[in-house]
Amino acid sequence: MNHWIARLLAFWSLTWHLRRPPLAHADADERARWCRDHAGTFAGRWLGLGAVLWLLFMTPFVAFVPLGIAGVLALAVGMATLTRQILAQRRAGPPPIEPPADFPRRDHDDADDR
């Protein structure tokens, strides 16, 4: 029973990852870098769930109030996760940008040989 609970928490919770090793023993800058790089995934999951629940609540056939409340709460958790990512980026700085890759160019003569 603990296995599926842990998998569910790992899929939905950013805080679960930050409190588990190796991030539990990392310094604040390393945790902020991880949060900057991965919090968007968790925010997208929460915002998507909130949007689906809210749109389902707004249909005329499924006007179930707890569904609407759950949708608003999921949207709030998604926005809080985005806020956490923005604050982590302020601490860790912007992500490193790799230099552009050179793609091989084909000459016009090669295209004429076909």
Give the pLDDT score at 109: 58
Q: Which residue has the higher pLDDT, 13 or 73?
A: 73
Length of the chain: 114
Tens of pLDDT, residue by residue over 66-112, are: 999 999 999 999 999 999 999 999 999 988 888 888 888 876 655 55
Determine the 3-state secondary structure of 107 from DSSP. coil
Tens of pLDDT, residue by residue over 22-67, are: 888 889 899 999 999 999 999 999 999 999 999 999 998 888 899 9
Chain-centroid distance of CA 9 in Å reads 14
Query: What phi and psi, each to the nearest 5 degrees, are found at residue 103?
Result: -100, 140
Estimate the share of the chain in helix, then strand, then coil, as percent rounded to the nearest 5: 75, 0, 25
Give the pLDDT score at 10: 81
Determine the 3-state secondary structure of 100 from DSSP. coil
DSSP letter at 20 equals S
Among 43, 46, 71, CA closest to 56: 71
